[in-house]
Structure 1
Amino acid sequence: MTQKPSVDLKAHLRPDTQVRVAIHLPDNSIIDLYAMIVRIEDDLLHMETFRSSKTQLAIVPHGARVVVMSSETWAFCRGEGIFEAAIDLNFAVRIRGELEIQQRREFFRMDVYIPVVYAVPADQQMTTVEGMWKARRMMTESGPPPRTIPWQGSFKILNWNDHPNIDPCRVNLSGGGIRIKIPEQLTPGTLVDLDIFLPATTLRVISAVGSVIRSTEVLLNLEPNPSYVTAMEFIHLSTKDREIIISYLFNEQRNSLRIQNEI
Protein backbone atom coordinates (compact mmCIF):
# COMPACT_ATOMS: atom_id res chain seq x y z
CA MET A 1 0.00 0.00 0.00
CA THR A 2 1.32 3.44 -0.92
CA GLN A 3 2.21 5.57 2.08
CA LYS A 4 0.62 8.97 1.58
CA PRO A 5 2.54 12.07 2.68
CA SER A 6 1.52 13.25 6.12
CA VAL A 7 1.36 16.88 4.94
CA ASP A 8 -0.47 18.51 2.06
CA LEU A 9 1.95 18.84 -0.86
CA LYS A 10 0.07 21.84 -2.19
CA ALA A 11 0.72 23.68 1.07
CA HIS A 12 4.48 23.60 0.46
CA LEU A 13 4.95 23.10 -3.28
CA ARG A 14 3.25 24.77 -6.21
CA PRO A 15 3.18 24.55 -10.01
CA ASP A 16 5.75 26.55 -12.00
CA THR A 17 8.30 26.13 -9.20
CA GLN A 18 11.79 24.93 -10.12
CA VAL A 19 13.00 21.97 -8.05
CA ARG A 20 16.17 19.94 -7.87
CA VAL A 21 15.73 16.20 -8.36
CA ALA A 22 18.18 13.45 -7.38
CA ILE A 23 17.32 10.02 -8.83
CA HIS A 24 19.08 6.97 -7.35
CA LEU A 25 19.71 4.26 -9.95
CA PRO A 26 20.10 0.51 -9.24
CA ASP A 27 23.89 0.68 -9.85
CA ASN A 28 24.15 3.24 -6.97
CA SER A 29 24.82 6.13 -9.35
CA ILE A 30 22.73 9.29 -9.10
CA ILE A 31 21.10 11.41 -11.79
CA ASP A 32 20.98 15.03 -10.70
CA LEU A 33 18.69 17.33 -12.68
CA TYR A 34 16.41 20.36 -12.51
CA ALA A 35 12.71 20.32 -13.31
CA MET A 36 9.58 22.45 -13.12
CA ILE A 37 6.49 21.29 -11.26
CA VAL A 38 3.64 21.09 -13.77
CA ARG A 39 0.84 19.96 -11.46
CA ILE A 40 0.20 18.23 -8.13
CA GLU A 41 -2.32 15.42 -7.64
CA ASP A 42 -2.54 14.21 -4.03
CA ASP A 43 0.87 12.57 -3.43
CA LEU A 44 1.92 12.69 -7.11
CA LEU A 45 4.22 15.38 -8.49
CA HIS A 46 4.11 15.85 -12.26
CA MET A 47 7.27 17.56 -13.51
CA GLU A 48 8.99 18.60 -16.72
CA THR A 49 12.75 18.68 -17.09
CA PHE A 50 15.02 20.40 -19.60
CA ARG A 51 15.89 18.88 -22.97
CA SER A 52 19.51 18.36 -21.90
CA SER A 53 18.27 15.81 -19.31
CA LYS A 54 16.10 13.78 -21.72
CA THR A 55 18.70 11.02 -22.26
CA GLN A 56 19.26 10.59 -18.52
CA LEU A 57 15.54 10.46 -17.82
CA ALA A 58 15.02 7.69 -20.37
CA ILE A 59 17.12 5.17 -18.39
CA VAL A 60 15.35 5.62 -15.04
CA PRO A 61 13.41 2.48 -14.03
CA HIS A 62 10.00 2.49 -12.40
CA GLY A 63 10.31 2.48 -8.61
CA ALA A 64 13.69 4.24 -8.43
CA ARG A 65 14.21 6.27 -5.26
CA VAL A 66 13.89 10.01 -5.84
CA VAL A 67 14.68 13.04 -3.67
CA VAL A 68 12.97 16.32 -4.58
CA MET A 69 14.17 19.63 -3.15
CA SER A 70 12.61 23.06 -3.42
CA SER A 71 14.00 26.35 -2.16
CA GLU A 72 11.26 28.94 -1.92
CA THR A 73 11.69 32.42 -0.48
CA TRP A 74 10.39 31.35 2.94
CA ALA A 75 11.59 27.78 3.41
CA PHE A 76 13.55 24.78 2.18
CA CYS A 77 11.43 21.74 1.33
CA ARG A 78 12.70 18.17 0.84
CA GLY A 79 10.69 15.07 0.04
CA GLU A 80 11.46 11.47 -0.91
CA GLY A 81 9.45 9.25 -3.21
CA ILE A 82 9.53 6.77 -6.07
CA PHE A 83 9.79 7.28 -9.81
CA GLU A 84 6.48 6.46 -11.51
CA ALA A 85 6.79 7.11 -15.24
CA ALA A 86 8.40 9.30 -17.90
CA ILE A 87 7.18 10.47 -21.31
CA ASP A 88 9.63 12.57 -23.28
CA LEU A 89 10.60 15.43 -20.89
CA ASN A 90 7.73 14.82 -18.46
CA PHE A 91 7.89 12.50 -15.47
CA ALA A 92 6.03 11.77 -12.26
CA VAL A 93 7.24 11.11 -8.72
CA ARG A 94 5.04 9.75 -5.94
CA ILE A 95 6.05 11.32 -2.62
CA ARG A 96 6.20 8.98 0.37
CA GLY A 97 6.28 9.84 4.04
CA GLU A 98 6.79 13.30 5.47
CA LEU A 99 8.13 16.40 3.79
CA GLU A 100 11.06 18.02 5.56
CA ILE A 101 10.34 21.72 5.95
CA GLN A 102 13.05 24.07 7.20
CA GLN A 103 12.02 27.68 7.50
CA ARG A 104 14.61 30.22 6.51
CA ARG A 105 16.12 32.31 9.26
CA GLU A 106 16.60 35.99 8.70
CA PHE A 107 20.26 36.83 9.24
CA PHE A 108 21.83 40.24 9.66
CA ARG A 109 23.75 41.17 6.50
CA MET A 110 26.72 43.49 6.15
CA ASP A 111 29.18 44.61 3.48
CA VAL A 112 32.71 43.56 4.44
CA TYR A 113 36.11 43.66 2.74
CA ILE A 114 37.73 40.24 3.10
CA PRO A 115 39.48 37.58 0.98
CA VAL A 116 37.14 35.02 -0.58
CA VAL A 117 37.94 32.29 -3.09
CA TYR A 118 35.36 30.30 -5.03
CA ALA A 119 35.32 27.34 -7.41
CA VAL A 120 32.55 25.63 -9.37
CA PRO A 121 32.83 21.83 -8.98
CA ALA A 122 32.81 19.98 -12.29
CA ASP A 123 30.69 17.26 -10.68
CA GLN A 124 27.52 19.00 -9.50
CA GLN A 125 25.93 15.93 -7.91
CA MET A 126 24.87 16.87 -4.40
CA THR A 127 26.35 13.83 -2.68
CA THR A 128 29.74 14.40 -4.34
CA VAL A 129 29.80 18.11 -3.49
CA GLU A 130 28.88 17.42 0.14
CA GLY A 131 31.62 14.78 0.44
CA MET A 132 34.23 17.13 -1.01
CA TRP A 133 33.08 19.90 1.35
CA LYS A 134 33.60 17.65 4.37
CA ALA A 135 37.07 16.72 3.08
CA ARG A 136 37.97 20.41 2.56
CA ARG A 137 36.91 21.24 6.10
CA MET A 138 39.05 18.46 7.54
CA MET A 139 42.09 19.55 5.50
CA THR A 140 41.64 23.18 6.50
CA GLU A 141 41.25 22.40 10.20
CA SER A 142 44.25 20.05 10.29
CA GLY A 143 46.55 22.11 8.05
CA PRO A 144 48.70 25.15 8.83
CA PRO A 145 46.98 28.56 9.04
CA PRO A 146 47.14 30.80 5.96
CA ARG A 147 49.95 33.36 5.66
CA THR A 148 48.74 36.94 5.45
CA ILE A 149 50.01 40.46 4.86
CA PRO A 150 48.16 43.77 5.38
CA TRP A 151 46.51 44.98 2.19
CA GLN A 152 44.39 48.07 1.48
CA GLY A 153 42.85 48.28 4.92
CA SER A 154 42.29 44.54 5.09
CA PHE A 155 44.64 41.61 4.45
CA LYS A 156 45.83 39.39 1.61
CA ILE A 157 46.29 35.59 1.70
CA LEU A 158 49.63 34.30 0.39
CA ASN A 159 50.20 30.96 -1.35
CA TRP A 160 47.27 29.07 0.09
CA ASN A 161 46.12 25.73 -1.40
CA ASP A 162 47.47 26.34 -4.92
CA HIS A 163 46.24 29.95 -4.93
CA PRO A 164 49.27 32.27 -5.26
CA ASN A 165 47.55 35.32 -3.72
CA ILE A 166 43.98 36.01 -2.63
CA ASP A 167 43.15 39.71 -2.49
CA PRO A 168 40.31 41.06 -0.35
CA CYS A 169 37.07 41.94 -2.12
CA ARG A 170 33.83 43.65 -1.18
CA VAL A 171 31.14 41.09 -0.32
CA ASN A 172 27.76 41.17 1.37
CA LEU A 173 27.87 38.47 4.05
CA SER A 174 25.40 36.93 6.48
CA GLY A 175 24.99 33.70 8.39
CA GLY A 176 22.74 32.48 5.59
CA GLY A 177 24.63 33.40 2.44
CA ILE A 178 26.93 35.68 0.50
CA ARG A 179 26.73 38.12 -2.40
CA ILE A 180 29.94 38.58 -4.38
CA LYS A 181 31.08 40.01 -7.72
CA ILE A 182 32.68 37.37 -9.97
CA PRO A 183 33.88 37.33 -13.61
CA GLU A 184 31.40 34.69 -14.85
CA GLN A 185 27.65 34.28 -14.88
CA LEU A 186 26.33 31.22 -13.06
CA THR A 187 22.89 29.71 -13.50
CA PRO A 188 20.55 29.52 -10.48
CA GLY A 189 21.04 26.29 -8.56
CA THR A 190 24.74 25.95 -9.43
CA LEU A 191 26.72 24.65 -6.45
CA VAL A 192 29.82 26.65 -5.57
CA ASP A 193 32.72 25.81 -3.24
CA LEU A 194 33.58 28.80 -1.04
CA ASP A 195 36.48 29.57 1.28
CA ILE A 196 35.90 32.73 3.30
CA PHE A 197 38.72 34.23 5.37
CA LEU A 198 37.58 35.98 8.53
CA PRO A 199 39.82 37.97 10.90
CA ALA A 200 38.22 36.64 14.07
CA THR A 201 40.24 36.19 17.30
CA THR A 202 42.53 34.13 15.09
CA LEU A 203 42.28 34.00 11.31
CA ARG A 204 39.48 31.59 10.45
CA VAL A 205 38.92 29.85 7.12
CA ILE A 206 35.21 29.20 6.62
CA SER A 207 34.62 26.36 4.15
CA ALA A 208 31.11 26.36 2.73
CA VAL A 209 29.04 25.36 -0.27
CA GLY A 210 26.69 27.91 -1.76
CA SER A 211 23.79 27.48 -4.16
CA VAL A 212 23.36 30.32 -6.66
CA ILE A 213 20.11 32.25 -6.28
CA ARG A 214 20.78 34.81 -9.02
CA SER A 215 23.68 36.16 -11.06
CA THR A 216 23.27 39.61 -12.62
CA GLU A 217 25.66 41.40 -14.95
CA VAL A 218 27.04 44.71 -13.70
CA LEU A 219 26.00 47.11 -16.45
CA LEU A 220 27.76 50.26 -15.23
CA ASN A 221 31.16 48.61 -15.04
CA LEU A 222 34.36 50.59 -15.57
CA GLU A 223 36.44 47.41 -15.79
CA PRO A 224 37.33 46.06 -19.27
CA ASN A 225 35.87 42.59 -18.61
CA PRO A 226 32.27 41.80 -17.63
CA SER A 227 31.43 40.97 -14.04
CA TYR A 228 28.38 39.54 -12.34
CA VAL A 229 26.94 40.17 -8.89
CA THR A 230 26.11 36.67 -7.68
CA ALA A 231 23.98 35.89 -4.64
CA MET A 232 24.28 32.48 -2.99
CA GLU A 233 22.68 30.77 -0.03
CA PHE A 234 24.76 28.46 2.13
CA ILE A 235 23.57 24.86 1.81
CA HIS A 236 26.61 23.32 3.53
CA LEU A 237 28.04 25.28 6.46
CA SER A 238 28.85 23.93 9.91
CA THR A 239 26.94 25.34 12.87
CA LYS A 240 30.21 26.47 14.44
CA ASP A 241 31.27 28.35 11.30
CA ARG A 242 27.85 29.99 11.00
CA GLU A 243 28.17 31.23 14.57
CA ILE A 244 31.66 32.57 13.78
CA ILE A 245 30.27 34.53 10.81
CA ILE A 246 27.44 35.98 12.92
CA SER A 247 29.84 36.91 15.73
CA TYR A 248 32.27 38.52 13.28
CA LEU A 249 29.51 40.62 11.68
CA PHE A 250 28.20 41.67 15.09
CA ASN A 251 31.67 42.89 16.09
CA GLU A 252 32.12 44.68 12.76
CA GLN A 253 28.81 46.47 13.20
CA ARG A 254 29.67 47.43 16.79
CA ASN A 255 33.04 48.82 15.71
CA SER A 256 31.41 50.76 12.87
CA LEU A 257 28.86 52.32 15.24
CA ARG A 258 31.59 53.19 17.74
CA ILE A 259 33.62 54.97 15.05
CA GLN A 260 30.54 56.89 13.89
CA ASN A 261 29.81 58.03 17.44
CA GLU A 262 33.37 59.28 17.83
CA ILE A 263 33.15 61.50 14.76
Structure 2
Amino acid sequence: MRFNELGVGLKLELKLNSLDEKRGNSVFVSEFEWAENDKIIYIAAPIKNGRIYPVIVGESVDMVFIKNDNLYEVKGEVIGREVRHNISLLRVEITSEIRKIQRREFFRFDCSIPVGYRIAGQKEIDGSKKRFTKSYTRDLSGGGVCIRLKERIETGELLECELSLNDFNKVNFFGRVVRLTEYEYKNDVYKYEIGVLFEDIEKKDRERIISYIFQEQRRLIKKG
Protein backbone atom coordinates (compact mmCIF):
# COMPACT_ATOMS: atom_id res chain seq x y z
CA MET A 1 0.00 0.00 0.00
CA ARG A 2 1.23 3.51 -0.89
CA PHE A 3 0.42 6.71 0.94
CA ASN A 4 -1.10 8.29 -2.16
CA GLU A 5 -3.80 5.60 -1.88
CA LEU A 6 -4.95 7.03 1.46
CA GLY A 7 -7.76 9.54 1.27
CA VAL A 8 -7.43 13.06 2.66
CA GLY A 9 -9.05 13.12 6.10
CA LEU A 10 -8.45 9.42 6.83
CA LYS A 11 -8.64 9.06 10.60
CA LEU A 12 -5.45 8.04 12.40
CA GLU A 13 -4.77 7.00 15.95
CA LEU A 14 -1.43 8.43 16.88
CA LYS A 15 0.89 7.21 19.64
CA LEU A 16 3.68 9.61 20.50
CA ASN A 17 6.79 7.99 21.95
CA SER A 18 7.94 11.07 23.85
CA LEU A 19 11.55 12.14 24.14
CA ASP A 20 10.61 13.69 27.49
CA GLU A 21 10.36 10.97 30.16
CA LYS A 22 8.12 13.19 32.28
CA ARG A 23 5.47 13.32 29.55
CA GLY A 24 5.50 9.57 28.88
CA ASN A 25 3.77 8.02 25.87
CA SER A 26 0.43 9.48 24.75
CA VAL A 27 -2.29 8.38 22.31
CA PHE A 28 -4.32 10.86 20.25
CA VAL A 29 -6.72 11.09 17.33
CA SER A 30 -5.31 12.67 14.15
CA GLU A 31 -5.97 12.54 10.41
CA PHE A 32 -3.97 12.11 7.22
CA GLU A 33 -3.65 15.27 5.14
CA TRP A 34 -1.37 14.48 2.18
CA ALA A 35 1.82 12.70 1.12
CA GLU A 36 4.79 14.72 -0.10
CA ASN A 37 6.34 11.48 -1.39
CA ASP A 38 6.66 7.83 -0.29
CA LYS A 39 8.67 8.82 2.79
CA ILE A 40 7.20 12.17 3.91
CA ILE A 41 3.58 12.75 4.94
CA TYR A 42 1.60 15.51 6.64
CA ILE A 43 -0.90 14.78 9.42
CA ALA A 44 -3.06 16.97 11.66
CA ALA A 45 -1.44 17.96 14.92
CA PRO A 46 -3.03 16.14 17.89
CA ILE A 47 -5.27 17.83 20.43
CA LYS A 48 -5.41 17.38 24.20
CA ASN A 49 -7.85 19.10 26.58
CA GLY A 50 -9.00 21.34 23.76
CA ARG A 51 -5.53 22.58 22.81
CA ILE A 52 -2.88 21.67 20.26
CA TYR A 53 -0.51 19.22 21.93
CA PRO A 54 3.13 20.41 21.75
CA VAL A 55 4.80 17.60 19.80
CA ILE A 56 8.60 17.71 19.91
CA VAL A 57 10.47 17.54 16.61
CA GLY A 58 12.39 14.26 16.68
CA GLU A 59 9.69 12.29 18.51
CA SER A 60 8.87 8.88 17.07
CA VAL A 61 5.23 8.10 16.34
CA ASP A 62 3.14 4.98 15.76
CA MET A 63 0.16 5.55 13.44
CA VAL A 64 -2.78 3.17 13.09
CA PHE A 65 -5.62 3.47 10.59
CA ILE A 66 -8.50 1.52 9.04
CA LYS A 67 -8.50 0.93 5.28
CA ASN A 68 -10.83 -1.47 3.44
CA ASP A 69 -12.01 -2.84 6.79
CA ASN A 70 -8.45 -3.78 7.81
CA LEU A 71 -6.20 -2.29 10.47
CA TYR A 72 -2.73 -1.03 9.54
CA GLU A 73 0.23 0.33 11.46
CA VAL A 74 3.19 2.41 10.31
CA LYS A 75 5.99 4.14 12.23
CA GLY A 76 7.52 7.54 11.67
CA GLU A 77 9.49 10.44 13.11
CA VAL A 78 8.26 14.03 13.43
CA ILE A 79 10.64 16.21 11.41
CA GLY A 80 8.72 19.46 11.39
CA ARG A 81 5.70 21.50 12.47
CA GLU A 82 3.85 24.12 10.46
CA VAL A 83 0.48 25.80 9.92
CA ARG A 84 -1.29 25.85 6.55
CA HIS A 85 -4.77 27.28 5.96
CA ASN A 86 -5.18 27.66 9.75
CA ILE A 87 -4.55 23.93 10.28
CA SER A 88 -1.68 22.87 12.55
CA LEU A 89 0.29 20.08 10.90
CA LEU A 90 3.07 17.64 11.66
CA ARG A 91 5.57 16.72 8.95
CA VAL A 92 6.43 13.05 9.47
CA GLU A 93 9.19 10.96 7.94
CA ILE A 94 8.14 7.31 7.54
CA THR A 95 10.57 4.85 9.16
CA SER A 96 8.84 1.48 8.56
CA GLU A 97 6.69 -0.40 6.08
CA ILE A 98 2.90 -0.26 6.40
CA ARG A 99 1.95 -3.41 8.30
CA LYS A 100 -1.46 -5.04 8.67
CA ILE A 101 -2.32 -5.79 12.29
CA GLN A 102 -4.95 -8.10 13.75
CA ARG A 103 -6.15 -6.41 16.93
CA ARG A 104 -5.46 -3.30 18.97
CA GLU A 105 -6.79 -0.85 21.48
CA PHE A 106 -8.38 2.36 20.25
CA PHE A 107 -8.01 5.89 21.59
CA ARG A 108 -10.63 6.58 24.27
CA PHE A 109 -12.50 9.87 24.19
CA ASP A 110 -14.15 10.96 27.44
CA CYS A 111 -17.75 11.92 26.68
CA SER A 112 -21.25 11.63 28.08
CA ILE A 113 -23.68 10.90 25.26
CA PRO A 114 -27.00 8.98 25.27
CA VAL A 115 -26.91 5.24 24.71
CA GLY A 116 -29.67 2.65 24.84
CA TYR A 117 -28.93 -1.00 25.63
CA ARG A 118 -30.66 -4.32 26.09
CA ILE A 119 -29.44 -7.88 26.50
CA ALA A 120 -29.46 -9.48 23.05
CA GLY A 121 -32.37 -11.85 22.52
CA GLN A 122 -34.21 -10.82 25.68
CA LYS A 123 -38.01 -10.66 25.21
CA GLU A 124 -40.96 -9.06 26.96
CA ILE A 125 -43.76 -11.26 28.30
CA ASP A 126 -45.73 -10.80 25.06
CA GLY A 127 -42.75 -12.00 23.02
CA SER A 128 -41.82 -8.57 21.70
CA LYS A 129 -38.27 -7.26 21.93
CA LYS A 130 -37.37 -5.73 25.27
CA ARG A 131 -37.15 -1.94 25.13
CA PHE A 132 -33.79 -0.21 25.29
CA THR A 133 -32.75 0.95 28.74
CA LYS A 134 -31.48 4.52 28.51
CA SER A 135 -28.16 5.57 29.95
CA TYR A 136 -24.99 7.53 29.13
CA THR A 137 -21.45 6.77 28.09
CA ARG A 138 -18.34 7.53 30.11
CA ASP A 139 -15.99 7.24 27.15
CA LEU A 140 -16.02 6.11 23.54
CA SER A 141 -13.52 4.71 21.05
CA GLY A 142 -13.40 3.00 17.68
CA GLY A 143 -13.21 -0.33 19.48
CA GLY A 144 -15.89 -0.06 22.12
CA VAL A 145 -17.70 2.04 24.70
CA CYS A 146 -17.89 2.44 28.47
CA ILE A 147 -21.50 2.73 29.70
CA ARG A 148 -22.72 3.95 33.10
CA LEU A 149 -25.43 1.73 34.64
CA LYS A 150 -27.94 1.69 37.46
CA GLU A 151 -28.17 -2.10 37.25
CA ARG A 152 -25.52 -4.79 37.27
CA ILE A 153 -24.70 -6.60 34.02
CA GLU A 154 -22.14 -9.37 34.19
CA THR A 155 -19.15 -9.76 31.91
CA GLY A 156 -19.75 -12.04 28.95
CA GLU A 157 -23.25 -10.73 28.20
CA LEU A 158 -23.98 -9.73 24.60
CA LEU A 159 -25.76 -6.37 24.36
CA GLU A 160 -27.66 -4.72 21.55
CA CYS A 161 -27.04 -0.98 21.70
CA GLU A 162 -28.14 2.26 20.10
CA LEU A 163 -25.67 5.12 20.43
CA SER A 164 -26.81 8.70 19.77
CA LEU A 165 -23.83 10.67 18.47
CA ASN A 166 -26.27 13.54 17.95
CA ASP A 167 -29.99 14.03 17.26
CA PHE A 168 -29.65 12.85 13.65
CA ASN A 169 -26.74 10.42 13.91
CA LYS A 170 -27.44 7.09 15.62
CA VAL A 171 -25.24 4.00 15.52
CA ASN A 172 -26.53 0.48 16.24
CA PHE A 173 -24.23 -2.38 17.19
CA PHE A 174 -23.85 -5.56 19.21
CA GLY A 175 -21.16 -5.57 21.87
CA ARG A 176 -19.75 -7.94 24.46
CA VAL A 177 -19.36 -6.86 28.10
CA VAL A 178 -15.68 -7.35 28.91
CA ARG A 179 -15.37 -5.30 32.11
CA LEU A 180 -17.63 -4.54 35.10
CA THR A 181 -16.80 -1.90 37.71
CA GLU A 182 -18.89 -1.22 40.82
CA TYR A 183 -18.72 2.09 42.70
CA GLU A 184 -19.87 3.20 46.14
CA TYR A 185 -20.87 6.78 45.38
CA LYS A 186 -23.73 7.56 47.77
CA ASN A 187 -25.17 10.41 45.68
CA ASP A 188 -24.71 8.89 42.23
CA VAL A 189 -27.55 6.90 40.66
CA TYR A 190 -25.06 5.12 38.41
CA LYS A 191 -23.41 2.50 40.59
CA TYR A 192 -21.84 0.49 37.78
CA GLU A 193 -19.81 0.90 34.63
CA ILE A 194 -19.28 -1.67 31.93
CA GLY A 195 -16.73 -1.82 29.17
CA VAL A 196 -18.38 -3.05 25.97
CA LEU A 197 -16.26 -4.28 23.05
CA PHE A 198 -17.83 -3.95 19.61
CA GLU A 199 -18.57 -7.44 18.31
CA ASP A 200 -20.88 -6.72 15.35
CA ILE A 201 -20.73 -3.22 13.90
CA GLU A 202 -20.90 -1.93 10.34
CA LYS A 203 -17.65 -0.53 8.92
CA LYS A 204 -19.36 2.77 8.10
CA ASP A 205 -20.65 3.04 11.67
CA ARG A 206 -17.20 2.48 13.17
CA GLU A 207 -15.90 5.20 10.82
CA ARG A 208 -18.72 7.50 11.98
CA ILE A 209 -17.68 6.99 15.58
CA ILE A 210 -14.03 7.75 14.82
CA SER A 211 -15.09 10.81 12.80
CA TYR A 212 -17.28 11.98 15.68
CA ILE A 213 -14.37 11.71 18.12
CA PHE A 214 -12.11 13.70 15.82
CA GLN A 215 -14.74 16.39 15.19
CA GLU A 216 -15.36 16.78 18.91
CA GLN A 217 -11.63 17.21 19.47
CA ARG A 218 -11.59 19.95 16.82
CA ARG A 219 -14.65 21.61 18.39
CA LEU A 220 -12.98 21.69 21.79
CA ILE A 221 -9.94 23.49 20.48
CA LYS A 222 -12.10 26.09 18.75
CA LYS A 223 -13.92 26.74 22.05
CA GLY A 224 -10.53 27.16 23.74
TM-score, normalized by length of structure 2? 0.47
RCO comparison, higher one (Cα < 8 Å, 6+): 2
TM-score, normalized by length of structure 1? 0.41
**Greater share of residues in helix:** 1
